[in-house]
Structure 1
Amino acid sequence: MRFVHTSDWHLGRTFHGVELLDDQRRALSHLAAVVAEESADVVIVAGDVYDRSVPSADAVRVYDEGLAEIAEAGAQIVITSGNHDSATRLGAGSGFAAAGGLHLRTSVATIADPVVFTDDHGEIAVYGIPYLEPDTARRELGVEDSRGHAGVLTAAMDRIRTDLAGRSSRSVVVAHAFVVGGVATGSERSISVGGVETVAAETFSGVDYVALGHLHSPQQLTPSVRYSGSLLPYSFGERSHSKSIWIVDLDADGIAEVRARDLPIVRGLTSLTGTLGDLLADADLAAAEDHYVEASLTDPIRPVDAMRRLRERFPFAVHVQWERPHVGDGVDYRSRVHGRTDAQIVASFVADVRNAANATERDLIDRGLRAVVGEPEADGDDGGELVLFEIEPDVAASA
C-alpha cells in the first residue's frame, strides 16, 4: 500500500491580514495531482484541517473541493482533528462519510477503532488519535491523575497496542502532538498545559509508522516517526522551508520506503531591508514582485504612505516597518538629558519616534508644557533664554 502523509492545512488562515483561501485551493489541487502521479491509495491528514474551530463558509467550500479532487485522483482519506479544529464539527457525519472513502477520527471513543485497508500482503490498520486536551481527555481515557500530554497520549497508545495485539496487521498511527526533537517554526499555536506540551517519540512505539501533525516544517524524528509540515508557509520564518509531503510505501514487513515529495511554491515569501527609494528602484528585486513581501525601511525620516507606495511595485506586500537608523554615541540616558529643558527632551523624543518637529510643532510643545508647569522664567544672565525647568538626573533615569 502507498499512502501520502500530510497535515496542517489551516484552511481559512490569513497571512498578515491577507486572505489565503485561493492559495490554499491551489495547494490542495497540487496535492491531488501528486496523489494521481504517485498512484497513492490513501491520503492521511494529521490534524489542523481548519485554522479555527468555527470555519467560514468559504473555508468549508475549499475543504469540500479539495477532498473531491483527492478522491477523484483515486485515494481514500483519513483525517484526524488538531488543536485548531472543532472535533465535533469536523467529525460530523463520519459514519456516512466512511462509505464514500472519507474516514474521520475525531473522538476518544474511536482511538482504538482503526480504519482497515488491505493490500496483497494483508491488512493495514490505521489508527487516528485526535488532538487530546489533557484536562478533558484524561477523564475519558481513565487517567485522571495525568496533567500533561504525555499521560493522555500514553493512555491512547495503550488502547491502540491492546487492539493491535489481537490483529495480524501492519499499523499506522496518525496523531497531532508536539514530540520531543521536533522544531517549531513560530507559526504554530502553543498546546502547552501547565508548561508541559511535549511527549517522547517512544510514546508511539510498537507501530510501523507514525504520521504526525502540528509542527509546520517537514522533519524526521526517527525513521518511522515524522512530521509532514504544512502545505503552505504561514510565517516569514518559513520562507526558506521547502514544503513537502511524505510518500510512504508498506510491504509485507512494514515500511518499505519513505521519501519526500516537494510541493510547488504557490507564492514565495521575501523579506526586504533598505530605504523605500532603493526598494522601489532596485532591478535585482524583480523576482519578489509576485511574492508576499515584508519590508524593513531604513530611511532617516519615516516615509509617508509607505505601504501604498511599496505596493505599487510589490502588490502582495503585507507588512512594513520603519527602523530609524540608530547612531550610538556611548552616552547613557541620564547623561543625555542632564542640563536639558523639558521642551528639548520632548522635541528629542518626537524626533526619535517620528522625525524632527517643525516650528509649529515646537510651539505646540512649548504651549503644552506651559499648561503643565506654568510660564517659563527668563534667565537674567543671558538676556532671556527660556527654561521651563531642568530635569534632575535621578528623575530622568527613572522615567
Structure 2
Amino acid sequence: MRILHTSDWHIGRTFHGVDLLADQASALEAIAALVAENEVDVVVVPGDVYDRAIPSADAVTVCNNGFEAIRAAGAVIIATSGNHDSPARLGAGSAFSAAGGLHLMTRVSEVDRPVLLGDEHGEVAFYGLPYLEPETTRAELGVPTARSHAEILDAAMARVRADLGARAVDGTRPRAVLLAHAFVVGAEATGSERSISVGGVETVSASAFDGVDYVALGHLHSPQTLTDRVRYSGSPLPYSFGERTHRKAVWIADLDAAGLAEVRCVDLPVVRGLSQLTGTVDELLEDERFTADEGNYVSAILTDPVRPQDAMRTLQTRFPHMVHLEWQRPEGSADLHYGERVRGRSDLQIATSFLTDMRGEPTASELRLVERALSAAVRENELGEPAALEEIA
C-alpha cells in the first residue's frame, strides 16, 4: 500500500493580509498530480485542514475541490482536525463522505476506531488522533487529572494499542498507520505555527507512538524526520518569511507485508517564492540583482537615512507582491542617536531644543519658567522635598 503524507493545509489563511486561496488551490492540484503520477492509494492529512474554526465559503470551496481532485486521482483520503480547525465542523457529514472515500476522523471518542483498508497483504488500520487539548479531552479519555499533552496522548495511544491487540490473529497484529497533531520532542518549529501549550507541557516524546508502523504528524510546517517511522510532512506552502528557505514536500510511504518498507521525500512545486530584501528605496527599484525577486512575496528592510514616504506603493511598482516593509534606522549616524546628540549639553539647552522642535523657539519669559522648573526639579531630587508651585511660577 502506498501512502502520501501531507498536512497543515491551513485553507483560508492569509499572508500579511494577502489572500492565499489561489496559491492553496494550486498546491492541492500539485498534490493530486503526485497521487496520479505515483499511484498513491491513500492520502493522509493529520490536522489543520482549515486555518480557522469557521472557514469562509471560498475556503470550503477550495478545500472541497482539492479533496475531489485527490479522490479523482485515485486515492482514498483520511484527515483529522488540528488546533486551528473545528472538529465538529470539519467532521460534519463524515458518515456520508466516508462512503465516497473521504474519511474525516475528528472525534476523541473514536480514536480507537480505525479506518480499515486492504491490499494484497491484508488489512491496514488507520487511526486518527485529532488535536487533543488536555482541558477538553481528559474526561472523555478517562484521565481526569491529566494536565499535559503527553498524558493525554498516552491515554489515547493506550486505546489504539488495545484495539490493535484485539485485532491480532495468531499473535500478529494488523499493519497500522497513525495520524496525530502534536509537537514532538526534537522537532523544530518555523514560527508560523500557533502554540498548542495551554496550561501544560506542549511537547510529547516520539516513543509515545510506539506500536504502529508509520506515524504521520501534523502541526509543524517543515518536513522533518524524527525516526524512520515518525515524521512531519510540513505545510504545502510557506506561511512566514522564516520558511523562505524551506523546501515544501510530501512523504510517500510504502507498506509491504511486514510493515513499513520505504519512505521517500517528494518536493512540491513552488507556487510563489519568498524574498527578504535590504536596501534603500532607490536600490530596490533599480538594482538588477533583485530582478529574480520581482514575482515573489517580498519583505523589505529599508536603509534610507530618512524614513521614505509612501515606500510600499512605490516599491510595488517593481514588486507587485510586496507584503511587508520596515525602515531600519541607520547605525552609526550621530544625529539619529539621542545620547550622542545631548552629550555635553545642559538641561536648559536640551529643554530649549525640545521646545524649538515641538512648537518653535521659546520666548525669554518662557525660558525663565523652564529654568525655574529645572532648578526646582534638581532641588527636589537632591533634598527629597517637592517644590511649591509658586516657586516655579
**What is the TM-score with the length of structure 1 in the denominator?**
0.88
Distance 2:122 2:289 in 1: 57
What SS does the corresponding residue of 1:375 show, helix, strand or coil?
A: helix
The Cα shift of 1:374 comes to: 7.3
The Cα shift of 1:362 comes to: 3.0
Find the partner of 2:191 among 166, 186, 191: 186
Contact 1:47 1:83 in 2 (8 A): yes
Partner of 1:101: 101
Contact 1:115 1:125 in 2 (8 A): yes
Find out whether 1:377 has 2:368 as its counterpart: yes
Contact 1:342 1:388 in 2 (8 A): no
Letter aligned with residue 292 of structure 1: Y
Distance 1:334 1:86 in 2: 55
Measured against aligned partners, the alpha-carbon deviations of 1:42-96 in whole angstroms (never above 9, x if no partner) come to: 1000100011101011100100110010011000100000000110000000111
Find out whether 1:320 has 2:311 as its counterpart: no
Distance 2:359 2:341 in 1: 26
Task: Return 5+ residue gaps in structure 2 as ranges.
Answer: 168-172, 382-393
Which deviates more from structure 2 when the two are superposed, residues 297-306 or residues 323-332? 323-332
The Cα shift of 1:363 comes to: 6.2
Contact 2:94 2:104 in 1 (8 A): yes
Partner of 1:307: 312
Cα pair distance change 1:362/1:162, threshold 3 Å: same
Letter aligned with residue 39 of structure 2: S
Partner of 1:152: 152
Measured against aligned partners, the alpha-carbon deviations of 1:250-280 in whole angstroms (never above 9, x if no partner) come to: 0000011000000000000000001110111
Distance 1:342 1:89 in 2: 62
Q: Percent identity?
A: 58
- The root-mean-square deviation of aligned C-alpha atoms, in Å, is 2.5
What SS does the corresponding residue of 2:316 show, helix, strand or coil?
A: helix
Contact 1:343 1:388 in 2 (8 A): no
Partner of 2:388: none
Contact 1:376 1:388 in 2 (8 A): no
Distance 2:344 2:149 in 1: 53
What SS does the corresponding residue of 2:145 show, helix, strand or coil?
A: coil
Distance 1:37 1:115 in 2: 24
The Cα shift of 1:324 comes to: 1.2
Cα pair distance change 1:323/1:256, threshold 3 Å: same
The Cα shift of 1:171 comes to: 0.3
Partner of 2:15: 15
Find the partner of 1:253 among 252, 255, 258: 258
Find out whether 1:66 has 2:66 as its counterpart: yes
Partner of 1:294: 299
Contact 1:343 1:365 in 2 (8 A): no
Partner of 1:78: 78
What SS does the corresponding residue of 1:376 show, helix, strand or coil?
A: helix
Contact 2:352 2:367 in 1 (8 A): no
Partner of 2:201: 196
Find out whether 1:362 has 2:371 as its counterpart: no
What SS does the corresponding residue of 2:187 show, helix, strand or coil?
A: coil
Contact 2:15 2:239 in 1 (8 A): yes
The Cα shift of 1:387 comes to: 10
The Cα shift of 1:166 comes to: 1.6
State how 1:267-286 maps to structure 2 within 5 Å. 267-286=272-291
Letter aligned with residue 197 of structure 1: E
Partner of 1:218: 223
Distance 1:331 1:24 in 2: 47
The Cα shift of 1:106 comes to: 0.3
The Cα shift of 1:335 comes to: 6.9
Which deviates more from structure 2 when the two are superposed, residues 4-13 or residues 189-198? 189-198
Aligned length: 371
Task: Return 5+ residue gaps in structure 1 as ranges.
Answer: 348-360, 380-385
Distance 1:365 1:54 in 2: 54
Find out whether 1:47 has 2:47 as its counterpart: yes
Distance 2:141 2:345 in 1: 66
Measured against aligned partners, the alpha-carbon deviations of 1:284-337 in whole angstroms (never above 9, x if no partner) come to: 111100000000000001111000001010000000100010227799689737
Distance 1:232 1:29 in 2: 13
The Cα shift of 1:149 comes to: 0.3
Runs of 4+ in 1 over 4 A off after TM superposition: 328-335, 342-345, 386-392
Letter aligned with residue 4 of structure 2: V
Partner of 1:339: 346
Cα pair distance change 1:118/1:312, threshold 3 Å: same
Measured against aligned partners, the alpha-carbon deviations of 1:188-221 in whole angstroms (never above 9, x if no partner) come to: 0000022410000111001100000000000000
What SS does the corresponding residue of 1:53 show, helix, strand or coil?
A: coil
The Cα shift of 1:364 comes to: 1.9
